[in-house]
Structure 1
């Protein structure tokens, strides 16, 4: 009877031992090396499981640069005639349209300009009629070739003068058709040559105006460039068309592409000047002269990638948690050392394509607890 009881106890112990191994985890994996997470913890810590994906990684060169307007995106407002500033209609940061009046000026030259235009207009009409008359007489053999050439010369000269005066009046914001009717203005207007934002105003009411003095600067903030420098040992890696990512003050991003690579190195630091275009959303405004950092993407390679949140630093490098098994109550994760390559934004290149069921989110809490 004692022998039967002993056999029964031994058989019960063996059953318990076998049932302890009957779960979804790897039988060869020691249970003390696994990290156990309850289903409730998994949900509460917003954990997520995923697999490596094939993506394109970019080789990049970090550069420093400055925001500058393109050659046609910056203009100075000047006056074609002398006068006095009568009123200033804008302030720095004002948004203006092409042809919008920025200053009003007055002075005797304004009336003289309008008078000369009317005189030239009337002389042009007479010269045109005379040229047409002599042309007809020349065809009939009545007028000489010399008379025809002289009449044509007078007409062409006055035609050029009239065209000049029309352009001048346009720069002064005056309508030639109204002036011909006798509607003279005692003031003229200096207009913006481009659409953009007023960067500087360098005059005030009552100040004399000269033809060589800039009165304001207008910049089109939607047509800016990134100027950056590349050292000689990197210049062969930079080519027009390469994508550029620009880090803006405040944490924003802008994107563009390389449009030119310089041919001369700076004598001081042996750096080559390069330019990149900038594509900006309509609601984003950049300030000319802003210093920024940027990345130039020089080459693209394909590779397996995991989110940066999946990797954890250890003494020998990096590791990830992979799912070893689960049951209705818990998840069982094991630590897997891993070799990493390129790091780009929120992803990291990994070289083990056989990885699967990786804890891609929430593993930081596990590392901290350990």
Structure 2
């Protein structure tokens, strides 16, 4: 039977299948699950000639300050205080609607017109009360003059004073009611009484929902429209656990949408929720530096966070080798023996790579130059 090479994958599968004893083995690296010729570990030994040829140099875990760019993703939302439900102060029939869903409006713009006879009655009550108040004022002045000459009793003057005060209070109340529905009481007279009132926009923004139609009767408690104030746009971003300590309030970030990644807007972190959820991430909230029509409620967005002078631990780039999408380093065991150790890497630059949970390598000698050669030797030995 001809000799055949056995792949690392096949040997690893055989090792897994042979472990069906009911006991769950501790997770191992791909090399630790592989049966090497004469060995079962992930070490390699170099002869003196090989050692001289490879030219191995050693290093150890180092402290560094590095720059890091974190990519966050999330959605654009509106702060609750910037979502408004608009209703009419008084009930009536919808006479006209001047907006559509999604349309832009400006502060003070007429959104709708409401009509009802009670508006006429309110204006009429005001004008009648105003006339009565003027008559009461004149009567009070007359009673004061008569009381001075004792031609009128104190009681009569007090009654006139009470009548004037009561009508004055009633007039002020009616004046405020008219003000609320948008009618200027000071300019009101019998020639400009109207049956309609206007519903004005309280701010500049966009229409989210229209909940009424022409001719519909509405009560004061009914919501006519839901409006969005874009000034309240917030960006809710997911921050993974490994990046949590690098994202802080006040950091400047660049935000862009999936549709237009080249168009970036400036924003800043305004809040970081101090809790890691079940998905392994926390939430950071950012606010745009200025209004940007590119971003709307519900849109998926991305953000770049640049962290400068980040204090971390790591190794020179050439110390780290990759195999089957995993990263490893080689530990010097002495006497020309080297053991491959799996590591989790973080940020990297042109010379240095961060090692997460670097304590496992503390006080150990790590191969710098020659790490790739050791990987090839170990792989060839496995084959």
Q: What TM-score does the superposition give when structure 1 sets the normalisation length?
A: 0.54
1:279 matched to 2:289: yes
1:94 matched to 2:103: yes
Instruction: Show the counterpart of 1:249.
Output: 258
1:63 matched to 2:72: yes
Offset from partner CA, 1:276-296 (integer Å, 9 cap, x none) = 1113466x3422121223234
1:180 matched to 2:189: yes
Deviation at 1:237, TM superposition (A): 4.0
Deviation at 1:132, TM superposition (A): 8.4
Q: Is the 8 A contact 2:270 2:285 kept in 1?
A: yes
Count of residue pairs brought into register by the alignment = 254
Deviation at 1:93, TM superposition (A): 2.5
1:167 matched to 2:179: yes
Q: Is the 8 A contact 1:134 1:147 kept in 2?
A: no
Q: Is the 8 A contact 1:138 1:148 kept in 2?
A: no
1:300 matched to 2:308: yes
Q: Is the 8 A contact 2:254 2:265 kept in 1?
A: yes
Instruction: Show the counterpart of 1:308.
Output: none
Q: 2:270 aligns with which of 234, 259, 271?
A: 259
* Compared CA separation, residues 227 and 201, structure 1 to 2 (3 A): same
Q: Is the 8 A contact 2:97 2:112 kept in 1?
A: yes
Secondary structure of 1:180 counterpart: coil
Q: 1:154 aligns with which of 148, 163, 166?
A: 166
Instruction: Output the CA distance in 1 between the equivalents of 2:154 and 2:188.
Output: 36
**Unpaired runs of at least 5, structure 1:** 1-55, 303-312, 318-340, 352-370
* Compared CA separation, residues 62 and 182, structure 1 to 2 (3 A): same
* Compared CA separation, residues 147 and 92, structure 1 to 2 (3 A): same
Secondary structure of 1:166 counterpart: helix
- After superposition, residues 1-370 of structure 1 pair within 5 angstroms as 58-122=67-131, 125=134, 154=166, 157-158=169-170, 160-170=172-182, 174-230=183-239, 235-250=244-259, 251=261, 252-262=263-273, 265=275, 272-280=282-290, 284-297=293-306, 299-301=307-309, 349-350=350-351
